[in-house]
Structure formats: structure tokens, C-alpha cells
Structure 1
Amino acid sequence: MIVAFSVTPLGIGEDVGEAVAAAVKVVRASGLPSRTDAMFTSIEGDWDEVMPVVRAAIDAVKAYSNRVSTVIKIDDRAGVTGGLTAKVESVERHLAALDGR
């Protein structure tokens, strides 16, 4: 499964970078495949691997604020691994083919 999530502390002002970095640090320390962009962090593994990491990332942000907003999107597809990179590679192949037309 791939879980894309964002965790935002509320009530600490506009600069939430330090709190978000604490969450990303937890994800990276998990050793699971992950990717962070401007809006979400995505992590790949099975349910029992991924969800404790998401919870720990939320807890890391709670150290900065007693109120946290979390958005989670899950792609749970049995038997698929490497989806985090395979999906992007597929789009890049299609873009290259479109550029060649």
C-alpha cells in the first residue's frame, strides 16, 4: 500500500517547517520507501508497517502544537510493491512518448 499524508500543526503561525520536518524525520527513519513533496509525504509498505509510522509522525508534530490536522490518502493494492516509483516512471514514459509525437 501507498499512504500519502500531510500533518499540519495548528495555532503556531505560518512557519510550520520545523514541525513538518520532525514528521518527515520519523518517516525517513522508518526505512520504508518514502517520498516528500510540497504537499504530502508518501510511504510504502504493508498496513502494519505503514500505519505505526504515520501515527508516530503525527505524534512528532503534536510536540509542537496540541492541535494537529492530518490528511491521509491510501492506495491499497494487493500484491503490488515498488508502486511509489513505478507510478512515476509510468507517467514519465507516457510523457516521453507524447513528446515524441
Structure 2
Amino acid sequence: MLVAFSVAPSGTGRADGSVHDAVAAAVRIVRDSGLPHRTTSMFTEIEGEWDEVFAVVRSATDAVGAYGSRVSLVLKADIRPGWTGELDGKLERLEAAIADGESSRDDDAS
């Protein structure tokens, strides 16, 4: 299973609205989990079995809760039993499809 999630506090009392300390606390939990993961500017993706992934998401959410009076959690899951290595595998297949499409266009122009 792949899960992409974003978690942030609100009601922090910070005038600048920054949540980077809270997000850092969540990302540390993900990194310490040992599960395959990737963090981008908007989401953290994590791969593993249902129970282990959701335990990490819950711990990350709890950690963020210490930084404000509310927590917002956005989550998207790709549940595909029997598949592993999809954190990179999906991107590799996408890049291959793009490359195939480019070579097809080059062939059509010849």
C-alpha cells in the first residue's frame, strides 16, 4: 500500500503561520519508521502494510497535534495487494511510458 499524506496544525498562535517545526516532527517519525518513504514540498509518501503505515500516520498526526489546537490531515491511499516497491515502481513505469511516447512521436515525424 502507498499512502500520501499531509498533516499540519492550526491554531498555532504563530503570527507568520509557519508550520515547519510541526511538519519536521511528523517527518522525523516517518523517517524513523524504517518504511520506504519520500517527502516533497506538499506530501509525504510512505509504503508498507496497512497496519504499519497507518500506525506511522497516526504517530505523525499525534506529533503535529502538540503544535496547535487542531490538526488537518489529508490522506490518499493506493491499495494494491501483493505489490511492493511501488514508491519507485510507479514512477519508473510513468517515465518509460513518457519515453515510449516521445520515441513514437519521433518515428511518426520521420
Alignment TM-score > 0.5, same fold: yes
Distance 1:42 1:23 in 2: 12
Larger-gyration structure (1/2): 2
Distance 1:66 1:80 in 2: 38
Counterpart amino acid of 2:11? G
Q: RMSD of the alignment, in Å?
A: 1.1
Matched, 1:50 2:53: yes
SS in 2 for 1:38: coil
- Alpha-carbon shift at residue 95 of structure 1 (Å): 2.2
SS in 1 for 2:41: coil
Corresponding position of 2:70:
67
SS in 2 for 1:9: strand
Alignment gaps of 5+ in structure 1: none
Distance 1:62 1:54 in 2: 12
TM-score by structure 1 length? 0.93
What is the number of equivalent residue pairs in this alignment?
A: 101
Corresponding position of 2:32:
29
- Alpha-carbon shift at residue 61 of structure 1 (Å): 0.4
Alignment gaps of 5+ in structure 2: none
Aligned residue runs from structure 1 range 7-26, under 5 A: 7-12=7-12, 13=14, 14-26=17-29
Counterpart pick for 2:100 among 74, 91, 97? 97
TM-score by structure 2 length? 0.86
Overall identity of the aligned pairs, in %: 56
